[in-house]
């Protein structure tokens, strides 16, 4: 049965309290040299509701960080949004004036980066760096800024904040540094927190503590979370919804529990089979053979075809389109595993 887009909305549970916070539509990010474009992120679309947690998983180089940085307006030099829209509460961030964007960064949208060592300014005390955003956006005095920094450091579980507020980043452990980052990001009580692998650089025990703290603080502040990781266990623990990215595209998305319990895309299946201790500890790990294609030479058909055990001839010639089924799951595969009835995307 084919449905129109308006029908889709009817299917949403309780549309009244679901004003969209973030709405990304057909986002393409890449490099532009004269008239030639190199696409890194290719046609990504997803929505994030207020106070929800959305995960993006995928192998290294799949474009997760690029997607996140595009939302924050922090794409690295040379790369840019080629087309598509990123609507934050109705405002398209792609076309918004830089001043409007900057006004949003901090009080509305905040970001936590992958590497807490390099994401903090090495020559300024961490307390100043936490207080900087609130002082700028909320007009706090130096004293009020310091007080807020102390309070946020306490909330993120940093022991002895009075001493640590003056510390330089290199004087703190990785776990404490990431707590400082979180304190900094949430200091202005943003509505949307973008996290780029916030716990990857930490050891497992610290990872869990930081994740728990992050979740509860976000709930308290009322921030929605977009959470990038390559760790399925982490999304499973943290996120209600997830998208799986491969070679710059979303290949599957849906409710986290459903996707992980019953993956439909061979790549998602492969990720699960290669993740240690995910469902049954002691199960033999099956790595996905081969490597993801480089952005310069993605295959013409399905980008996963060279590594896919289910691939058929069709997969090499045409790219599968992301389709949404009646059970709110999307998948881009000609031979997706058992799925509900499909509607066009």
Q: Residues 39, 43, 44, 65: which binds ligand ATP (CB under 6 A)?
A: 65
Between residues 65 and 324, which has the closer beta carbon with respect to Mg ion?
65
185 binds, among ligand SF4, other proteins, Mg ion, none (CB under 5 to 8 A by kind): other proteins
333 binds, among other proteins, ligand SF4, Mg ion, none (CB under 5 to 8 A by kind): ligand SF4
Regarding 330 and contact with ligand ATP (CB under 6 A), the answer is: no
Regarding 249 and contact with ligand ATP (CB under 6 A), the answer is: no
The SS3 of residue 259 is helix
In this structure, the strands spanning 22-33 and 36-48 are: antiparallel
65 binds, among ligand SF4, Mg ion, other proteins, none (CB under 5 to 8 A by kind): Mg ion
Letters for 274-303 (x = contact with other proteins by CB under 8 A, - = none) are ------------------------------
Q: Which residues pair with 119 in a beta bridge?
A: none
198 binds, among Mg ion, ligand SF4, ligand ATP, none (CB under 5 to 8 A by kind): none
Q: In this chain, which stretch among 93-101, 183-191, 209-217, 332-340 interacts with ligand SF4, using CB under 6 A?
A: 332-340
Number of helices and strands (H, E) in the chain?
A: 12, 13
- Listed residue (174, 245, 171) closest to 204, CA to CA: 174
334 binds, among ligand SF4, ligand ATP, Mg ion, none (CB under 5 to 8 A by kind): ligand SF4
Regarding 65 and contact with Mg ion (CB under 5 A), the answer is: yes
- Listed residue (27, 28, 69, 18) closest to 48, CA to CA: 18
Regarding 221 and contact with other proteins (CB under 8 A), the answer is: no
Query: Whole-angstrom Cα distance, residue 309 to residue 270?
Result: 10
Regarding 31 and contact with ligand ATP (CB under 6 A), the answer is: yes
> How many Cα neighbours within 13 Å face the side chain of 56?
30
Element (H, E) at 72: helix 64-72
- Listed residue (68, 67, 84, 66) closest to 76, CA to CA: 66
Element (H, E) at 323: strand 323-325
Q: How many residues bind ligand SF4 (CB under 6 A)?
A: 12
Regarding 80 and contact with other proteins (CB under 8 A), the answer is: no
In this structure, the strands spanning 323-325 and 53-57 are: unpaired
Regarding 311 and contact with ligand SF4 (CB under 6 A), the answer is: yes
């Amino acid at each position: 049965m084919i449905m129109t887009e308006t029908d889709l909305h009817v299917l949403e549970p309780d549309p009244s309290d679901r004003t969209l916070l973030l709405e990304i539509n057909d986002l393409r990010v890449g490099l532009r040299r004269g008239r030639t474009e190199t696409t890194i992120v290719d046609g990504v679309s997803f929505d994030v509701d207020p106070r929800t947690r959305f995960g993006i998983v995928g192998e290294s180089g799949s474009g997760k960080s690029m997607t996140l940085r595009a939302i924050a307006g922090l794409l690295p030099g040379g790369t840019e949004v080629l087309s598509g829209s990123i609507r934050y509460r109705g405002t398209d961030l792609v076309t918004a004036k830089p001043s409007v964007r900057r006004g949003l960064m901090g009080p509305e949208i905040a970001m936590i980066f992958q590497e807490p060592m390099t994401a903090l300014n090495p020559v300024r005390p961490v307390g100043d760096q936490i207080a900087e955003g609130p002082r700028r956006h909320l007009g706090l005095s130096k004293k009020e800024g310091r007080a807020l920094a102390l309070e946020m450091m306490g909330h993120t579980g940093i022991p002895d904040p009075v001493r640590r507020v003056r510390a330089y980043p290199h004087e703190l452990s990785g776990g404490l540094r990431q707590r400082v980052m979180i304190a900094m990001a949430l200091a202005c009580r943003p509505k949307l927190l973008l996290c780029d692998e916030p716990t990857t650089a930490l050891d497992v025990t610290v990872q869990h503590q930081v994740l728990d703290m992050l979740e509860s603080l976000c709930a308290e502040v009322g921030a929605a979370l977009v959470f990038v990781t390559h760790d399925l266990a982490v999304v499973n623990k943290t996120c209600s919804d997830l998208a799986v990215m491969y070679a710059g595209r979303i290949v599957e998305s849906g409710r986290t529990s459903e996707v992980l319990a019953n993956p439909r895309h061979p790549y998602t299946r492969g990720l699960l089979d290669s993740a240690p201790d995910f469902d049954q500890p002691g199960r033999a790990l099956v790595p996905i053979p081969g490597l993801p294609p480089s952005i310069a030479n993605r295959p013409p058909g399905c980008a996963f075809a060279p590594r896919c055990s289910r691939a058929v001839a069709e997969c090499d010639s045409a790219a599968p389109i992301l389709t949404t089924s009646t059970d709110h799951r999307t998948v881009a595969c000609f031979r997706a595993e058992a799925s509900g009835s499909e509607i066009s995307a």
